[in-house]
Amino acid sequence: MRVTISRKAHFNAAHRLFRKDWSDAQNISVFGKCSNPHYHGHNYELIAHITGEIDPETGYVMDMKVLKDLIKEKIEDEFDHKNLNEEVPEFIDLIPTAENMAVVIYQKLIPHLNDKHDLSVTLYETPRNYVTFSG
Amino acid sequence: MRVTISRKAHFNAAHRLFRKDWSDAQNISVFGKCSNPHYHGHNYELIAHITGEIDPETGYVMDMKVLKDLIKEKIEDEFDHKNLNEEVPEFIDLIPTAENMAVVIYQKLIPHLNDKHDLSVTLYETPRNYVTFSG
Amino acid sequence: MRVTISRKAHFNAAHRLFRKDWSDAQNISVFGKCSNPHYHGHNYELIAHITGEIDPETGYVMDMKVLKDLIKEKIEDEFDHKNLNEEVPEFIDLIPTAENMAVVIYQKLIPHLNDKHDLSVTLYETPRNYVTFSG
Amino acid sequence: MRVTISRKAHFNAAHRLFRKDWSDAQNISVFGKCSNPHYHGHNYELIAHITGEIDPETGYVMDMKVLKDLIKEKIEDEFDHKNLNEEVPEFIDLIPTAENMAVVIYQKLIPHLNDKHDLSVTLYETPRNYVTFSG
Amino acid sequence: MRVTISRKAHFNAAHRLFRKDWSDAQNISVFGKCSNPHYHGHNYELIAHITGEIDPETGYVMDMKVLKDLIKEKIEDEFDHKNLNEEVPEFIDLIPTAENMAVVIYQKLIPHLNDKHDLSVTLYETPRNYVTFSG
Amino acid sequence: MRVTISRKAHFNAAHRLFRKDWSDAQNISVFGKCSNPHYHGHNYELIAHITGEIDPETGYVMDMKVLKDLIKEKIEDEFDHKNLNEEVPEFIDLIPTAENMAVVIYQKLIPHLNDKHDLSVTLYETPRNYVTFSG
């Protein structure tokens, strides 16, 4: 009786896509306007999916409130209203593409989950672009 | 050529999360305001996903109208505008969490499907919380 | 320079539509399955619209955070996870239709707003049905 | 580090579901009003999902702009504001059900992707009906 | 106590924008690909807004079920799965732009409403384009 | 026969809310985390509403494609992937709150519209917060 529970969360952040070890021309050639040195930003929509057995006593895979609070503490409080490149340690040396962000979010959440649970992370960068990482 | 077809449906219901064999204090400690004895309710959004071969004659995995009518008869007519704890037999002794509801919906639909078809059920309890069960 | 700012909020509640002074038959004839004595429920989406001048010092009509907190205190904390008929004083003698709910929400919010501000309330009972009251 | 990136696109088209080798009565019996000889139409929402390794140099699985342009050239320019039965070669002898359309879209995109990438195609025919094909 | 109630409905149709009294070149110059002689189509989302006094006896401006059935009978049954230019009498000599469609829908609904009620019609042609007509 | 046509557009930008003539403490006290000196950002959703008579010759209030191109040239090309405070001239001395942004967008579009047309601008800063300015 494995069920997946999914919880949506939200944060707003600024970022830019660029590599310090590349010239401006190279950054613009690969990342286009996403490499704007003055930054741009997004309303990120995050969905954390947890798969596990239903606890027959509670009918829960995991208490959604616990999951909500975990996402708030580990992700929203760290990323919301931040400049990802400048203020979030994980992206000092890692380009904050949606792909890398999904992996980082996964790595920040997984240590706090029951080890019988599987995690998958979906991150919407815009309503038209999103990524999913499942470990 | 296995394709998944997905059909959305909708029902509104009241429920509460609680166990008769627990004290009020225990219910509140585990289920919080979701255990309110006067009930609360939701607009549930249901998505039934059917996976199977495309029938080369019709181009259908399954006629969406047949699927729509099946969901209406087996789920909407049973759950819509109902109190799940009081009026839906499956939840007399089963806590109507979203997880348990997805399993019950799966069990109510699967006997009516072609046995070459796989079923998966997604149930939104709110726009931010949803669950998926695939048998 | 009058601008309208709009803030969405959310609450889940149980209700039924019925009049104590009508027979069951009369209630069913007018309200149909919405009069189910065991209640049903909804995920209500509320939008509060405030119209006023932009404060040239802050660029705000009103601080969205103040509006968010006001809606939380006056509406969400009063209505969320409640049975409207049984637990919300305004609906002891008033049928909790979406229309009446929008008027009640308006009346609960308006005393706390700047008297130069106009208020309008939109309430979604389901994704397909909603109402608006502007005083 | 396999991640799935998803990109939404949109096209509007007319179609009808029918078989030339069936009588009108047979077409109506199987396809109902979807077989209307004067056609009807949809706003199709397409999501292309690409799964692959993150390129450590760019942080991308694939440049979303390249994916967006590929979908535009191969799908939107071919299908948008068209009559699928009359004007799109793939559907001259293939019924343009959502299922068949998802397979055709998959086949039109896959030759242009890196062979280390997996493709999955989701196609919404209406907000309530959609299909997914993963090869 | 005037409140506006809003009800969403949905229909799929084919259409083209063109004038019989114009040359093909003129039609293409004004309407572009929307004038494709083979038609294209849309999932139209319709919202009917009715403004009136709350009936103190029922708490309703108007029974949403009555409004839903009226929209179904007068609009959905007439337009759904149809070719607007070929099969809907109102558009034999009127170009089925979203603007004209909103006016026609208004004119088809208004005779059936209480004359103390005001009507406004919103019609989405695509998720990005919509129109509103209020009489 | 005045009809309102509405067109949605989208841009992503970074911004911060602060006044150069205030101390950091004052900025934080009024704008909170929105004043973060490293910026944050949003996916802005813009809706331009144009109200006017239907042209009986075309059935259009205004060609949606012309409106789409106008929004692209005057707003999207100016704001998208930009830092509003640093790179958009209108916000050098004006705080880029959603309210001020709606007024600026109105002022940038209105000179390019037919003077018989009315304009209203809706700007979503997040899915839960939006503003409307109608001149």
CB F47 within 8 A of CB F121: yes
Strands (E), C54-109: 82-83
Mean pLDDT of D92-101: 97
Strands (E), chain F: 2-15, 40-53, 82-83, 118-126, 129-133
F72 neighbourhood in chain E, CB within 8 Å: none
Task: Report the C-alpha gap between C53 and C38 in whole angstroms.
Answer: 47
Report the mean per-residue pLDDT for chain A: 97
pLDDT (tens digit per residue) in C71-128: 999 999 999 999 999 999 999 999 999 999 999 999 999 999 999 999 999 999 999 9
Kindly determine whether residue A8 and residue B128, on different chains, have CB atoms separated by under 8 Å: yes
Report the mean per-residue pLDDT for chain C: 97
Structure tokens at C131: 């109402």
Task: Report the C-alpha gap between B74 and D100 in whole angstroms.
Answer: 28
B59 contact D CB<8A:
yes
Question: What backbone torsions phi and psi does residue D6 show, to the nearest 5 degrees?
Answer: -130, 135
Residue B16 has pLDDT above 90, yes or no: yes
CB A17 within 8 A of CB A34: yes
E43 contact C CB<8A:
no
Mean pLDDT of A26-49: 97
E23 contact C CB<8A:
no
Kindly determine whether residue C60 and residue F130, on different chains, have CB atoms separated by under 8 Å: no
Q: Which chain B residue lies closest to A67 (C-alpha atoms)?
A: B129
Chains linked to D by 3 or more Cβ pairs within 8 Å? A, B, E
In the block, which residue shows the tokens 């009518």?
A: B69
- The catalytically annotated residue of D10, D40, D81, D112 is D81
pLDDT (tens digit per residue) in E11-60: 999 999 999 999 999 999 999 999 999 999 999 999 999 999 999 999 99
Select from F31, F100, F128 the Cβ nearest to the Cβ of C54: F100
- The catalytically annotated residue of A73, A81, A86, A112 is A81
Share of chain F above pLDDT 90, in %: 99
Residue D128 makes CB contacts below 8 A (sequence gap 6+) with B7, B8, B9
Task: Report the C-alpha gap between B77 and B54 in whole angstroms.
Answer: 29
C36 contact B CB<8A:
yes
Q: Which chain E residue lies closest to C95 (C-alpha atoms)?
A: E59
Kindly determine whether residue B103 and residue A1, on different chains, have CB atoms separated by under 8 Å: yes
CB A59 within 8 A of CB F59: no
For residue A121, the SS3 value is strand
- The catalytically annotated residue of E10, E53, E73, E81 is E81
pLDDT (tens digit per residue) in B120-133: 999 999 999 999 99
B104 contact A CB<8A:
no
Min Cα separation F124/chain E (Å): 14
Structure tokens at A47: 């969905």
Question: Active-site residues of F: which are they?
Answer: 34, 81, 125
pLDDT (tens digit per residue) in B26-83: 999 999 999 999 999 999 999 999 999 999 999 999 999 999 999 999 999 999 999 9
Kindly determine whether residue C60 and residue F97, on different chains, have CB atoms separated by under 8 Å: yes
**Catalytic residue flag (residue D40):** no
Select from F33, F80, F126 the Cβ nearest to the Cβ of A43: F126
pLDDT on residue C1: 86
CA angle D134, A95, F126 (to 5 degrees): 75
Kindly determine whether residue F36 and residue A82, on different chains, have CB atoms separated by under 8 Å: yes
Task: Report the C-alpha gap between E73 and E91 in whole angstroms.
Answer: 18
B77 neighbourhood in chain C, CB within 8 Å: none
Give whole-number Cα distances, D43 to D78, D80, E44, in Å.
15, 9, 8
Task: Report the C-alpha gap between B71 and F110 in whole angstroms.
Answer: 50
Min Cα separation E85/chain F (Å): 14
State the maximum Cα–Cα separation within chain E, in Å, rounded to a whole number: 60
pLDDT on residue A83: 98
Interface A-F, measured as beta-carbon pairs within 8 A, has a size of 77
Residue E1 has pLDDT above 90, yes or no: no
Kindly determine whether residue E102 and residue F6, on different chains, have CB atoms separated by under 8 Å: no
Mean pLDDT of B12-29: 96
Q: Which amino acid is at B81?
A: H
pLDDT on residue F1: 86
Kindly determine whether residue D39 and residue E14, on different chains, have CB atoms separated by under 8 Å: yes
A38 neighbourhood in chain F, CB within 8 Å: 14, 82-83, 86-87
pLDDT on residue B125: 98
Quickly state the pLDDT bin for D1 (edges 50, 70, 90).
Answer: confident
CB E114 within 8 A of CB E125: no
Give whole-number Cα distances, D38 to C44, D25, D94, E85, E86, in Å.
41, 16, 18, 9, 7
Mean pLDDT of F13-42: 96
**Catalytic residue flag (residue B81):** yes
CB C75 within 8 A of CB C109: yes
Q: Among E66, E27, E39, E36, which Cα is nearest to E50's?
A: E66
Quickly state the pLDDT bin for B109 (edges 50, 70, 90).
Answer: very high
Q: At A97, which helix (H) or strand (E)?
A: none
- The catalytically annotated residue of C40, C81, C86, C112 is C81
In angstroms, the first-to-last Cα distance of chain C is: 21
CA A90 to chain centre: 11
Question: What backbone torsions phi and psi does residue F3 show, to the nearest 5 degrees?
Answer: -125, 145
CB B104 within 8 A of CB B79: no
pLDDT on residue B1: 86
The 3 state secondary structure assigned to chain E is CEEEEEEEEEEEEEECCCCCCCCHHHHHHHHHHHHCCCCEEEEEEEEEEEEEECCCCCCCCCCHHHHHHHHHHHHHHHHCCEEHHHHCHHHCCCCCCHHHHHHHHHHHHHHHCCCCCEEEEEEEEECCEEEEECC
Give whole-number Cα distances, C16 to B16, B47, C35, in Å.
16, 26, 5
Task: Report the C-alpha gap between E101 and E107 in whole angstroms.
Answer: 10
pLDDT on residue A1: 86
CB C4 within 8 A of CB C49: yes
pLDDT on residue B110: 98
Mean pLDDT of F26-39: 96
Report strand pairing: F2-15 vs F82-83. parallel
CB F61 within 8 A of CB F5: yes
Share of chain C above pLDDT 90, in %: 99
F76 contact A CB<8A:
no
What ipTM was estimated for this complex?
0.95
Share of chain D above pLDDT 90, in %: 99
| Contacts by residues A91-94 (CB-CB < 8 Å, ≥ 24 positions apart) | A91/A15, A94/D59
What are the structural domains, with CATH classification, of chain B?
2-11+43-133 (3.30.479.10)
Mean pLDDT of E108-115: 97
Q: Do chains A and D touch (3 or more CB pairs under 8 A)?
A: yes
C3 neighbourhood in chain F, CB within 8 Å: 99, 102-103, 131-133
Share of chain D above pLDDT 70, in %: 100
Q: Which amino acid is at C34?
A: C
Task: Report the C-alpha gap between C47 and C10 in whole angstroms.
Answer: 9
Task: Report the C-alpha gap between D15 and D125 in whole angstroms.
Answer: 11
- The catalytically annotated residue of B40, B53, B73, B81 is B81
Q: Which amino acid is at D104?
A: V
F59 contact E CB<8A:
yes
C129 contact F CB<8A:
no
pLDDT (tens digit per residue) in E81-95: 999 999 999 999 999
pLDDT on residue D100: 98
In the block, which residue shows the tokens 């396809």?
A: D31
Q: Among E134, E67, E125, which Cα is nearest to E107's?
A: E134
Q: At B51, which helix (H) or strand (E)?
A: strand B40-53
Kindly determine whether residue C3 and residue F130, on different chains, have CB atoms separated by under 8 Å: no
Select from B1, B59, B64 the Cβ nearest to the Cβ of D129: B64
For residue A101, the SS3 value is helix
Residue B47 makes CB contacts below 8 A (sequence gap 6+) with B6, B7, B8, B9, B121, B122, B123, B124
Helices (H), B8-135: 24-31, 64-71, 77-79, 84-87, 98-109
